[in-house]
Structure 1
Amino acid sequence: MTLETRTDDGWATTRFVVVGFGTAGYACADSLIQAGAEHLVVLDDRDNEALREKAVILETLGATITLGPGSTAELPKDVDVVVTSPGVPPHAPLLAQAAEREVPIWSEIELAWRLRDPANPAPWLCITGTNGKTTTVQMLTAMLQAAGLRTVAAGNVGLPLLEAVMDPEPYDVIAVELSSYQLHYTHSMSAHSAAVLNIAPDHVDWHGSLDAYAKDKGRIFENCQIACVYNVADPATEQLVMDADVIEGCRAIGFTLGTPGLSMLGIVDDLLVDRAFVEQRATSALELAMISDVTPAAPHNIANALAAAALARAFGVPATAIRDGLRGFRPDKHRIAHVAEVAGVNYVDDSKATNPHAAQASLLAYEHVVWIAGGQAKGATFDELVIAARRRLRAVVLMGQDKQVIAEALERHAPDVPRIVVEATDTGAMQIVVGEAAKLAQVGDTVLLAPGCASWDMFANYGARGDAFTEAVRALGN
């Protein structure tokens, strides 16, 4: 079973099982058919009209689709490779059976890597981390485009990576966002350059431990060719570089919000500078952009910009394109987005801050904050966040399923900070929350929605939560 290229006969004779038939699973199955796979089974425990419609399409092309409860309980006897969707945990029965039988398990990323055009495979610039992945990938894409390169953001954001590699018109380079789920079953990828932005507790229930989670993040550095980019402020990311087996000559490149040392990007005065990819780096640094070119210029977002710049510079992007890319970039909704100023108080939507690490980064960007927090904590704790941010907290308004977890951390470490607990969980709850926050805020303060929790207990997703906050703020203004 070679499967070295798209046209290898191995694709036709290999017996594939795809687990999960959501967006990723469908893309995997469709791409396998395009590659010539003639023995393809797709399994999903769900069964609804949308899935059945997609099943009809693939069945006409020769795939076998099985939907409904129990479909993934047993691994078929005749299978050579299992391709799994990112949401399926390693302890799922079918994956456990595959591991026991020593059947190779591929992620969609592994499949995409193997399906690259052998005649013109676009290099991958890859990014992972607990927080900031999407913003950093989008910044990187803007820089690459400013350099005149045909590129796209793909993977865990933007275009599905399989679509990118199967595009008949090859890209010059692909900016790839990767989650820990996707990296877990990725084995042969060899990125041009890669970055780990940060490591903080998240998805421990899926991975089994924080150490296992970090090791899966570190897979992004395996076989890296040119540069492994790490966060100087987060030693765990540098350790992942040290532990990785890379291509000879691959360099470790740091990024820092301080003055950069050798082989680093960092800040000098109000400038983003490069001391890694310049010949005179022992004695000088190259100006890339001004801090004011980064929007918003919050510290963690400047760090994102430096990480993106490090990957772009590793690919040979000139400084002018770094600057132009940053100047033209605006983050997606619900990422430290300024909503309005009402009665001298700023209201900021960072609903995307779905874990304590992300919420802490947001809180440290403002001097005086009325913090709106709560939701599903996913087993996370908030002591470290409260200790780091307590001097900035004017007050806290708590909501959602695990609000008590945050309340207890506040009681331990910031007992004098006023806090309001909102019990309502219906569609009007956010109006109550914002109303309470407005009462606590003083002129010049920031009311910050940075929940530090998932949204599913009260909202369809973090976007719906952010939209509810925005509506409540605008109603307050009116």
Structure 2
Amino acid sequence: MGGGPVKPWLATADRLSPWPQARVLVAGLGTSGFAAADGLLDLGAQVLVRDESESPANLEKATVLEMLDAEVRLGPGATDELPADVDLVVTSPGWRPSAPLLAQAALRGVPVWGEVELAWRMSRPDRTVPWLAVTGTNGKTTTVGMLESMLTAAGLRTSAVGNVGRPIVEAVLDEVSYDVLAVELSSFQLHWTHSLSLHSAAVLNLAPDHLEWYADAAGWPPGASDPMAAYAADKARIYSGVTHSCVYNVADPATEHMVEEAEVVEGARAIGFTLGIPAPSMLGVVDDLLVDRAFIPQRRDSAVEIAKLADVVPHAPHNVANALAAAALARSFGVPPTAVADGLRRLKLGDHRIQTVAEVAGVRYVDDSKATNPHAAAASLAAFDHVVWIAGGQAKGTSFDDLVTAVAPKLRAVVVLGVDRRVIADALARHAPEVPVNVLELSDHGAMQQAVEWAASRAVSGDVVLLAPGCASRDMFTDYAARGDAFAAAARALPG
């Protein structure tokens, strides 16, 4: 089990360190794992890759990496044992610290990084690019898309990377010389970071999510006593070492507390965003305008317009909040107000985010399949007055009691489906017993068609039939996009 001593240079390793001396194990061969392995091979490291899955995609990636002299092992048992001579483990973000390879690394004192940490090290000392980063329970992808659009409108070379899709390692090793990166970071990714010092960072909100990942989390990160505390502690890591602006949500005190507790570089500022009238050092809303009272010299007694509410599409409250957070990060980097507005106007959000997919007999059918936890579903429901709600899937250990209590007055009816449908049905029985509920027992794609047809029978003209599941999708669908597509197809097939 034992290996040689940990190489001391790894503690401060960068792109120019003696990587040919290092044996690095990459745990997981997903998108970020493949990018990490490829990047390490490019630096000359000896790379081992381990993954339990022998999917066609993994076999194809394994072939490529083996041609570059990586040692790849796939299949059952491949991740049971950490080789004795490994100097560093680079893990995929979904792997829990209790996974055998990672637990063995911790016992032996072998450092564990994520792909994000590896990318940060690879960008130093000669490819440094400022990172503007976003985390939070909900809204990350939308906010990063808004931020990228604002930066592009300002004439800056940028790319949206991280949890949003493209691995950061790819961008760091890209031949393009970027001015700034718009980075989405999940709690999983932040857990495995150690040395980030971002230009500016935002935490959009904090609500229970991914608690099953943190189920055995007591003690990691240090001081975390329960799953929610561990989840929050990982989110808060984004502020550590920030050099310019820590952006927080005025309506979510937990995010401001994270800023107050963060160890930042001297001179970094706390910047709030609010849907109300902003105080100094905040961005907010006045009448039908988004305004900045943080990044102007005269912020004590005035504000500058940065966009109109109409520039935010859709301008549901949570989406306006996303726009303000993106604007705060962009303004921290010197983006002019005109580019903030232009970026919002040019932005085309991806599918399955509060997207109207059909209108039948005066009823709108809205796909927000991206709402994969109760907090996101609550934000979606808040955008409408009268709703027939379609919910359910994998609840990930979360509760729906607070959500149901908050939205009960606007529910015309609810249909629940998926593996954890009873979790939602029971919350409705406790807190909204007067609301009609249909609990579907089907476990295949036909359940969505049945759900939409039942919802249509309950809706009246002026209502919204809303798919905001509050749950993950993989109990019944390949991903949230497939779930949204099934909803849209069923809605468009309705008579009339």
Residue by residue, what CA displacement relative to the aligned partner does 1:258-310 show, whole Å, maximum 9, x if unpaired? 11111111111111111110111000011011111100010000000000000
Distance 1:286 1:354 in 2: 35
What is the match of residue 355 of structure 2?
337
Matched, 1:427 2:427: no
* SS of equivalent residue, structure 2 residue 296: coil
How far residue 369 of structure 1 moved from its aligned partner, in angstroms, is 0.7
State the AA in 2 paired with 1:341: E
State the AA in 2 paired with 1:28: A
State the AA in 2 paired with 1:357: H
What is the match of residue 27 of structure 2?
19
What is the match of residue 88 of structure 1?
95
Distance 2:340 2:147 in 1: 8
State the AA in 1 paired with 2:474: W
Contact 1:370 1:446 in 2 (8 A): yes
- Quick one: which of 159, 182, 195 aligns to 2:166? 159
Q: 1:294 to 1:477 in 2, by over 3 A?
A: farther
Matches within 5 A, 1:446-465: 446-465=464-483
* SS of equivalent residue, structure 1 residue 72: coil
Residue by residue, what CA displacement relative to the aligned partner does 1:197-246 show, whole Å, maximum 9, x if unpaired? 01111111212300000100111111001000011111111111111111
Contact 1:42 1:63 in 2 (8 A): yes
| Contiguous gaps of at least 5 residues in structure 1 | none
How far residue 35 of structure 1 moved from its aligned partner, in angstroms, is 1.5
Q: 1:265 to 1:107 in 2, by over 3 A?
A: same
How far residue 86 of structure 1 moved from its aligned partner, in angstroms, is 0.7
What is the match of residue 213 of structure 2?
206
What is the match of residue 30 of structure 1?
38
What is the match of residue 194 of structure 2?
187
Contact 1:117 1:166 in 2 (8 A): no
| CA RMSD across the alignment | 1.3
What is the match of residue 174 of structure 1?
181
State the AA in 2 paired with 1:377: A
Mean Cα deviation higher: 9-18 or 49-58 = 49-58
Contact 1:360 1:389 in 2 (8 A): yes
How far residue 154 of structure 1 moved from its aligned partner, in angstroms, is 0.3
Mean Cα deviation higher: 395-404 or 346-355 = 395-404
What is the match of residue 486 of structure 2?
468
What is the match of residue 308 of structure 1?
326
Mean Cα deviation higher: 423-432 or 16-25 = 423-432
What is the match of residue 459 of structure 2?
441
- Quick one: which of 239, 264, 269 aligns to 2:257? 239
* SS of equivalent residue, structure 1 residue 163: helix
* SS of equivalent residue, structure 2 residue 266: coil
What is the match of residue 146 of structure 2?
139
How far residue 117 of structure 1 moved from its aligned partner, in angstroms, is 5.4
Distance 2:229 2:448 in 1: 36
Residue by residue, what CA displacement relative to the aligned partner does 1:82-120 show, whole Å, maximum 9, x if unpaired? 111111110111111111111111000000000115334
Q: 1:295 to 1:460 in 2, by over 3 A?
A: same
Contact 1:354 1:454 in 2 (8 A): yes
State the AA in 2 paired with 1:14: A
Contact 1:2 1:8 in 2 (8 A): no
Distance 2:475 2:13 in 1: 45
Distance 2:418 2:92 in 1: 29
Residue by residue, what CA displacement relative to the aligned partner does 1:398-454 show, whole Å, maximum 9, x if unpaired? 212211111111111111112222222333222211111111111111110101111
Distance 2:484 2:474 in 1: 13
How far residue 159 of structure 1 moved from its aligned partner, in angstroms, is 2.1
Q: 1:477 to 1:153 in 2, by over 3 A?
A: farther
Contact 1:154 1:164 in 2 (8 A): yes
State the AA in 2 paired with 1:328: R
How far residue 48 of structure 1 moved from its aligned partner, in angstroms, is 3.6
* SS of equivalent residue, structure 2 residue 120: helix
Q: 1:7 to 1:431 in 2, by over 3 A?
A: closer
Contact 1:124 1:176 in 2 (8 A): yes
Distance 1:256 1:195 in 2: 13
Matches within 5 A, 1:53-452: 53-116=60-123, 118-207=125-214, 208=217, 209-452=227-470
Contact 2:317 2:383 in 1 (8 A): yes
Residue by residue, what CA displacement relative to the aligned partner does 1:320-369 show, whole Å, maximum 9, x if unpaired? 00000001112110011011221011110001111101000000110111
Distance 1:86 1:114 in 2: 17
How far residue 58 of structure 1 moved from its aligned partner, in angstroms, is 1.8
| Contiguous gaps of at least 5 residues in structure 2 | 1-7, 218-226
How far residue 47 of structure 1 moved from its aligned partner, in angstroms, is 2.2
State the AA in 1 paired with 2:314: P
* SS of equivalent residue, structure 1 residue 331: coil
* SS of equivalent residue, structure 2 residue 389: strand
How far residue 9 of structure 1 moved from its aligned partner, in angstroms, is 4.3
Matched residues, number: 477
Residue by residue, what CA displacement relative to the aligned partner does 1:29-85 show, whole Å, maximum 9, x if unpaired? 100011121x22111122244323322222222221122211211111112111111
* SS of equivalent residue, structure 1 residue 377: coil
How far residue 158 of structure 1 moved from its aligned partner, in angstroms, is 3.4
* SS of equivalent residue, structure 2 residue 448: helix
Distance 1:378 1:177 in 2: 21
Contact 1:117 1:165 in 2 (8 A): no
